[in-house]
Chains A and B, each alone.
Chain A
Amino acid sequence: MSPANKEHANPRFDEIREKAETRKRAFKEAPGPKIHIGMATCGIASGALETKDAFEQMLAQLGIDAQIHTVGCIGHCYAEPFVIIDHPESGFPPIFYPEVTPGKANMLTKLFLAEGDPRFEHILGATEKNEMIPWVMEFARFSQEKRVVMEKCGHIDPEDIYDYIAADGYSTLAGMFQRTPQEIIREIKNSGLRGRGGAGFPTGPKWELAANEARDTKLVICNADEGDPGAYMDRTILESNPHQVLEGIIACAYAIGAHKAVVYVRAEYPLAVRIITGAIQQAKQLGLVGKDILGSSFDLDIEVFQGSGAFVCGEETALIRSIEGFRGMPRHRPPYPVQSGLWGKPTVINNVKTLASIAPILKNGAAWYRKIGTENSPGTAIFSVVGDVVHPGLIEIPMGVTLRTLIFDICGGIPKKKKFKAVQIGGPSGGCLPEDFLDTPIDFDSLTQAGAMMGSGGMVVMDEDTCTVDISRYFLDFTQKESCGECTFCRIGTFHLLTILERITEGEGNEADLKTLEQLSEDIKNGSLCGLGKTAPNPVLTSLRYFKDDYDAHVEEKRCPGMMCRPLVAYYIDLEKCARGCDACVGCCPVEAVFTTSNRKKGIDQSLCVKCGECMVACPPEYDAVRKVSPPQLAPIVERPQQTVKEHK
């Protein structure tokens, strides 16, 4: 057992914990059912506020005495808004209900809370093992995850510090202050923890470097900039369990000897800003942050800085510039921030997930952490898996799990019986991997070797109807806009890459373009200062390497195999199948491109059509008359009769 594991008496903390436990007991023992509702951004976006209102109204109307407990995000995005109802009197275990609309909330209040019928058809599972309802841990989406960072997310109220403390939160502090900073650093070094901000730099050695700087003022920055347009785990952690991050920040500050810390979070994440600000306030009130923390004579102030939204500001030196009030442009390293960071002071910058891993490590010991994951990448990885999977959401897995397990077992595979085509990992800095790579274990080194990258943890799964050229174009469009303009290759090179990709997706590309793409990509990688430019060509390079067929089809046949590139597709109506007199597609067309033919069937005016695909959705399945083709010449031309134009006017 590691020394961290011992209980350490600290009268001040014991008092706080006592209070937290009393409150928790009171909540548990209060009569009546308890309703837990997920209220992070994702839940609210899916209507959790309305769901909560519905519960409250219905409970009041029926005079039921129940407690509503708002919690954070549990990571099961496909199930939002989710509700867990703990209704012991009914004889059922706590039950997890997915997609609880206000209507469902009303129904559950009436039928389950009042009458004791849990409505089996709406249940996802029970959150405890029992005889009546399948336990959620029997599902791969639950059982194959390993929650370290997100263990408490979705179970505690992020806006109530006592909730966290009752769940054993802040319990590492008392013990930590009895150990020397060197011992803490050694523990983190032994754990093998690597930074979760993308590059995987070992955290312990980083802290050690900062600790060894003989300077009075040192700083800690928590990097919650999260610029990847498809990743949202850092925000979710801040929104669902801010105190675990603060606990990590306190440990880091103590280890390196800093008395000031900054949480850099995007202003575009208003809920995260509010919750972390409130959390700092609460921690201060209890003496867990501020002067003389828990009587240890260690002081630490934590501030929130609202980032203004620029992808490059996630890069540490750019982030520092932006806190200093300037344009967020990266600078050359060395000196590294651990030597000369914010205001020229030694600064440790760590990602949210890195810092949130600290408390579990200190609590359970380095050896415990090492047992999770792989030799070179211990611990867990968090991915936001989106796109064409059955169960999208935030997923925390031990490092070393294969992509196949993650996509097919945990996330339920590809919906609608379609075939897997590619998985994009690491957002704008990452790459697209084909089926052959599905057995790649997920860890820092294997992914980099395959040409992708852990990066931000964004993961987009794509089925056969996806165009990898278009995805590359999408990411290039993003990096080109976000390039800060400092390095010529990044500024102008990404612009040219984008122009070429646009040309290809419009069917104007040629053989030579493919060569230029490759050459230019290498040049941009070599000619850029920071990680943005160095990694921006990754999406292009990997898709060129693994999906050359896609490029060839665009260039040689002017055809988009995934039928995503709109200039290369056309919609037409199969006159054999179209039903006379049906008008479903006419009303839905946003540009009035659908017309009635002389025999009262429908045709599409290709010159007006914007290829939104709406008519295809609108066409009743029993006719199924709308066809999508690529290249567009495959669509038969149907003349628009003169008089129908008048008729429409």
Chain B
Amino acid sequence: MKDLGMNLALSAEEKSLLELITPELVKIGKDRSKLIPILQLIQEKLAYLPGEAIHMVADHLSISPSEVYGVATFYNQFRFNPPGRNPVKVCLGTACHVKGGDIILENFERKLDIKEGQTTPDREFSIERVACVGCCALAPVTVVGQTVHGHMQPSKVEGLVLRARIEREKQQREKQKNESSE
């Protein structure tokens, strides 16, 4: 079952993003067959489908929210939880499975203390399983953010998490420095 995650409050930024989508919906039109492209558009902007968005789409197409959920939950692409700033995608395609991809997944779950499909409370990381990212020769493979890491080993997990955290701290420090120098 997909976690519908309906109780997370929208951030101000997400609210304004959602508002920006309204005029685009008008442009797309009210044809029922636009449902999936609309959901894709929203997910592209917000990175997930919050409950508010589902209701908005239902109103727009004059169908019930449960029907929108029905379609959205059917497809693997749609998510109902915001992804972390560093989405971790562990490949469990055939080649990666044979090379122990599930062990890598478990290690991420243990290290980040969340399960596949969830996001850490600080929204820093989220874990997903994906099927074949297309570089089976490097199996097992994990994609962190945009970077593909091949020949993964359980012991590399900690380093990846740590590296992402350090990067983030560095960014924040630089941001602060810039702000204070302005």
Q: Hey, which bits of chain A sit against chain B, CB under 8 A?
A: 40-42, 44-46, 77-78, 80, 228-232, 235-236, 267-268, 305-306, 308-310, 322-328, 384, 386-388, 392-393, 424, 427, 458, 460, 462, 466, 471, 474, 478, 484, 587-588, 590-591, 610-614, 617-618
Contact = CB atoms under 8 A, between A and B. Distances in A.
Contacts of B75: 308-310, 322, 328
The 10 closest A-B pairs by CB, nearest first: A230-B94, A308-B75, A229-B131, A309-B76, A386-B95, A45-B135, A308-B77, A386-B136, A77-B137, A45-B148
B77 A590 contact: no
Nearest to B92: A229
Q: B31, B93, B139, B157 — which one has the most chain A CB atoms within 10 A of its CB?
A: B93
Contacts of A610: 103, 106
Given A590-B107, A590-B154, A614-B154, A324 B33 contact: yes
29 contacts: A46-B150, A78-B137, A80-B137, A229-B93, A229-B94, A229-B131, A267-B77, A268-B130, A306-B36, A308-B78, A310-B75, A310-B76, A322-B36, A323-B33, A324-B32, A324-B33, A325-B35, A327-B70, A328-B75, A460-B95, A474-B94, A484-B74, A588-B155, A590-B158, A591-B110, A612-B106, A612-B154, A613-B154, A618-B155
A320 to B, nearest CB: 11
Given A41-B135, A235-B134, A309-B77, A614 B153 contact: yes
B74 A310 contact: yes
Contacts of A613: 100, 103, 154
Nearest to B94: A230
B34 interface: yes
A614 B77 CA distance: 33
A230 B95 contact: yes
B103 A612 contact: yes
Given A590-B107, A612-B107, 18 more contacts: A41-B135, A42-B134, A42-B137, A80-B137, A231-B132, A232-B134, A268-B76, A306-B37, A310-B74, A322-B36, A325-B36, A458-B94, A587-B155, A610-B103, A610-B106, A612-B100, A614-B154, A617-B153
B71 interface: yes
Interface in B92-112: 92-95, 97-98, 100, 103, 106-107, 110-111
B27 to A, nearest CB: 17
Contacts of B138: 45-46
B106 to A, nearest CB: 7
Contacts of B153: 614, 617
Contacts of B120: none
A207 B181 CA distance: 69
B31 to A, nearest CB: 8
Nearest to B133: A45
A386 B99 CA distance: 11
Given A325-B36, A327-B71, A462-B98, A393 B137 contact: yes
B127 interface: no
Contact of B77 (A268, A384, A591, A617): A268
B129 to A, nearest CB: 10
A78 to B, nearest CB: 5
B155 A590 contact: yes
Contacts of B135: 41-42, 45-46, 77, 80
B116 to A, nearest CB: 12
Nearest to B149: A45
Contacts of B95: 230, 386-387, 392, 460
Contacts of A424: 94
Given A386-B94, A460-B95, A308 B132 contact: no
Contact of A325 (B32, B133, B134): B32
Interface residues of B, number: 46
A230 B154 contact: no
B98 A328 contact: no
Nearest to A384: B136
A2 to B, nearest CB: 37
A386 B139 contact: yes
Which residue, B70, B97, B134, has most C-beta atoms of chain A within 10 A? B134
A471 B97 CA distance: 9
A79 to B, nearest CB: 9
Most chain A CB within 10 A, of B31, B40, B95, B154, is at B95
Q: Which of B33, B35, B39 neighbours the largest number of chain A CB atoms within 10 Å of its CB?
A: B33
Nearest to A79: B137
B25 to A, nearest CB: 14
A45 B36 contact: no
A471 B74 contact: no
B98 A460 contact: yes
B141 interface: yes
Contacts of A458: 94
B154 A232 contact: no
Given A230-B136, A590-B158, A328 B94 contact: no
A328 B74 contact: yes
A392 B134 CA distance: 12
A472 to B, nearest CB: 12
Contacts of A326: 71
Interface string B20-52: 000000000001111111011000000000000
Contact of B134 (A78, A236, A327, A588): A236
Contacts of B158: 590
Nearest to B72: A308
B60 to A, nearest CB: 13
A46 B133 CA distance: 11
B3 to A, nearest CB: 15
B40 to A, nearest CB: 6
Contacts of B103: 610-613
A392 B131 contact: no
Nearest to B75: A308
Contacts of B74: 310, 327-328, 484
A612 B99 CA distance: 11
B12 to A, nearest CB: 28
Contacts of B35: 325
A462 B100 CA distance: 13
